[in-house]
Amino acid sequence: MTPSSSPSSRIPAPARPGPGSFGEARVRVRESLRRLGVSGSADRLRACVPEELAGACGFTRAMISAVCGSRWVPLHLYTQEDLDPAATGFRAYVASGAEIPLANLLAETEMVRRRTAVLVPPPLIGTRAFRPIIEVARSPAYVAAPLVIKGRTVGFVHADRVGQSTVVDEGDRRLVRAFADELAVVYERICWEEWLAERARLATAEMRRAATSLQRLERPAEAVTPLAAAAQQGSTIAAAAPPETGPRPPERRTRNPLTEREWEVLEHVADGATNRVVAHRLTLSEETVKSHMRNVLRKLGVSTRGAAVAWYLEMGRSGR
C-alpha cells in the first residue's frame, strides 16, 4: 500500500471521537482488525495497518514501525494530505529506511521497556520525541503503542491529529493501545497460517514424489529375475529412506540449518525490517540480503518470508 492523499473509499474517516463515543471507536477498531485478519500475508497486513488505524480512530496520520535490536525503523505511513502540510517530507523520511536509536528518555524506549502505550503531549514533544523525525513530521503531539509478541516488543504504531482542531489525548492513547494489542494477535496468527500452508504444500509434494517412485518400481511379477528382484529390493529400501538433498519441512530438522549471517538476516526480517533496512543495518548490499533470504527459504523448505518468520518464532528466537 502506498500513502494516499485522501481516505480509502472503503474506510471512512470518522470525526474525532467525542465524549461518550469511545465505545463506538472500539467498534470501528474491531472492524478494522477483522479486515486486517484476512489480509492474506504478513507483508500485506503491515502495509495496510496505518490506513486502517487512521480510518478507525479518525487520525490524520498513522505509521507502523519495526524494532530492530537497539533501534526502530519506520516502515509504512498513511496520511491525509489535505490536513497534513508535511506529508511529502514525512513520506520521504519513512521511505529512506532511517533507523532511530532507542535512547534514554524517548517515549519509544519506554514502550520497549514497559510494553505500554504512550501519549507525548505538546509540552513534552521536545524532550520525549526523536527531534529529527519531529522536525520533518511537524507533529505537535502523538500517541503510540508497542506490538508485543511472546513478551517482546517487535514494533510500534504511531498516530497524530495534525491539521485538526485538537491534538491527541488520553482517549486516543487508550484506543491505539487496544488496536496494537489485538493487532499483535492477528499478526502472529497470520505468520502461523503462512507456515502451516507451506507445510501442507510440502507434504503434498512429498506424496506426489512418493507415488511417482512407486510407479517406477512396479514390474510384472513374471518378468522379475532373482538378480533383478535383489536389485529392486535395494532400490526400494533406498526409496524408503528420507532424501539426502532437497527442501524438507522445518519440523523434520533437529538443528538450526542456517548460518550465523542467515540467522541474523532472518532475525531482522522477523522484526519487520525490509531488505533495504536489513542491508543498511548489517552494512551489506541489498542484493546480498536478498541472496541470504533465498538461502533461508531454500534451507527451511518454504517459499514465503512469512513462513520463514513463523519458523523463526517457533524456534523461540534462540535457535543459535
Domain co-membership, 216 together with 165 = no
Segments of the chain assigned E as strands: 61-68, 71-79, 100-101, 118-120, 142-149, 152-160
Domain co-membership, 94 together with 150 = yes
- Report for 28-42, 199-213, 226-240: range of highest mean pLDDT: 28-42
Residue 25: the pLDDT is 84
pLDDT of 182 over the 90 cut: yes
pLDDT of 204 over the 90 cut: no
Domain co-membership, 200 together with 183 = no
CATH of the domain at 154: 3.30.450.40
Residue 68 lies in a domain: yes
If we measure between CA atoms, which residue out of 104, 114, 93, 105 comes closest to residue 156? 114
Nearest-angstrom CA–CA distance, 64 and 290: 23
Domain co-membership, 302 together with 209 = yes
Domain co-membership, 256 together with 181 = no
Domain co-membership, 75 together with 209 = no
268: Cα within 13 Å, side-chain hemisphere: 26
**Domain-terminating residue out of 169, 189, 209:** 189
Nearest-angstrom CA–CA distance, 17 and 23: 9
Residue 223 lies in a domain: yes
Nearest-angstrom CA–CA distance, 256 and 276: 25
Q: Which helix H or strand E contains 35, and what residues bound it?
A: helix 22-36
Q: What is the mean pLDDT of residues 60-76?
A: 93
Residue 245: the pLDDT is 38
Residue 1 lies in a domain: no
In contact, 75 and 272? CB cutoff 8 Å: yes
Amino acid identity, position 242 = P
pLDDT of 179 over the 90 cut: yes
Domain co-membership, 175 together with 33 = yes
Q: What is the mean pLDDT of residues 260-285?
A: 86
**Domain-terminating residue out of 131, 160, 189:** 189
Domain co-membership, 125 together with 242 = no
Domain co-membership, 183 together with 196 = no
Q: 156 has which bridge partners?
A: 65, 146
DSSP assignment, residue 301? T
Count of structural domains, the chain? 2
| Cβ neighbours, 10 Å, residue 264 | 17
Chain segment 220-259, per-residue pLDDT in tens: 554 545 555 555 555 444 444 444 433 343 443 446 889 9
Residue 121 lies in a domain: yes
pLDDT of 142 over the 50 cut: yes
**Domain range for residue 91?**
22-189
Residue 303: the pLDDT is 85
More confident residue, 168 or 320: 168
Residue 251 lies in a domain: yes
pLDDT of 3 over the 90 cut: no
Domain co-membership, 127 together with 111 = yes
More confident residue, 187 or 243: 187
Q: Which of 105-114, 122-131, 142-151, 230-239 bottoms out in mean pLDDT, i.e. has the lowest? A: 230-239
User: What's the mean per-residue pLDDT of the chain?
Assistant: 81
Residue 282: the pLDDT is 86
Nearest-angstrom CA–CA distance, 89 and 83: 14
Residue 213 lies in a domain: yes
State the cell numbers at 288. 546480498
CATH of the domain at 202: 1.10.10.10
Domain co-membership, 82 together with 180 = yes
Residue 7 lies in a domain: no
pLDDT of 192 over the 90 cut: no
132 confidence band (pLDDT: 50, 70, 90): very high
**Domain-terminating residue out of 170, 189, 208:** 189
Share of the chain above pLDDT 70, in %: 80
Residue 248 lies in a domain: yes
- Report for 23-37, 167-181, 234-248: range of highest mean pLDDT: 167-181
Nearest-angstrom CA–CA distance, 176 and 118: 9
Domain co-membership, 173 together with 231 = no
